[in-house]
Amino acid sequence: MISTLKGHFGYREKSFYYTFTNDGIDSVSFSPDEKIIASSSRGDTKLWKIDGTLIASIQGDNASFLPDGSGLIITIDKKEVIWSLDIDELTKDGCEWLNDYLAIHPQELKLIKICQNPSNLTRAARKLAKEGDIDGAKNFFFTAIELDPELDINPNDELRELAIPVL
């Protein structure tokens, strides 16, 4: 079934098309910038672009945006939870969660450019050098220096020191 949900912001009317079951929708909220819509139904909240493209599905009910658009308040198990929508904060948190994985799998850091920072790159370079991948280690060291020219590291000294046990 296709239904039209209408909300009003100022003097402009917005329409949003949403496919749903006969259970219906419990709540709808527009982001302050009017670019994202949150719809909640029976413990499931979905975030949509204004064109109807699904962005994410989150457990919880009664979603509403914070006035500044930086977060979403959702009711989960009768408790209100604030989900951050700050992309910089979410990226930082995601990269921090990956730190241990990236320390063990330094080659994966090549694929996750958004998590490349001097600390992660130098740690990965040291691991690669110890494993004998001198070229890979050198690339990571120099990328770290490009990101932070003030980085107090000499790639050649590091490689000599770390690669000796492999040679």
Q: What's the pLDDT tens digit per position in 96-116? A: 888 888 888 888 888 888 888
* pLDDT in the model for residue 10: 34
Mean pLDDT in residue range 36-48: 87
Mean pLDDT in residue range 57-69: 87
Does residue 47 have a pLDDT over 70?
yes
Three-state SS annotation for 103-120: HHCHHHHHCCHHHCCHHH
Residues 73 and 45: their CA atoms lie apart, in Å, by 11
Residues 6+ apart with CB under 8 A from 60: 40, 43, 44, 45, 74, 75, 76, 81
Per-chain mean pLDDT for the chain? 80
How do the domains of the chain map onto residue ranges? 2-85, 88-163
Residues 28 and 98: their CA atoms lie apart, in Å, by 34
Q: Is domain 2-85 given the CATH code 1.10.260 in the classification?
A: no
* pLDDT in the model for residue 142: 92
**Which amino acid is it at 21?**
T
Q: Are 115 and 102 in contact (CB under 8 A)?
A: yes
Choice among 3-17, 21-35, 129-143, 145-159 with the minimum mean pLDDT: 3-17
**Which amino acid is it at 78?**
K
Q: Are 25 and 18 in contact (CB under 8 A)?
A: yes
Does residue 29 have a pLDDT over 70?
yes
Mean pLDDT in residue range 138-147: 91
* pLDDT in the model for residue 87: 80
Mean pLDDT in residue range 141-155: 91
How far is the CA of 35 from the CAs of 55, 105, 167, in angstroms? Answer: 11, 37, 57
Does residue 3 have a pLDDT over 80?
no
Measured from the Cβ of residue 36, the count of other Cβ atoms closer than 10 Å reads 19
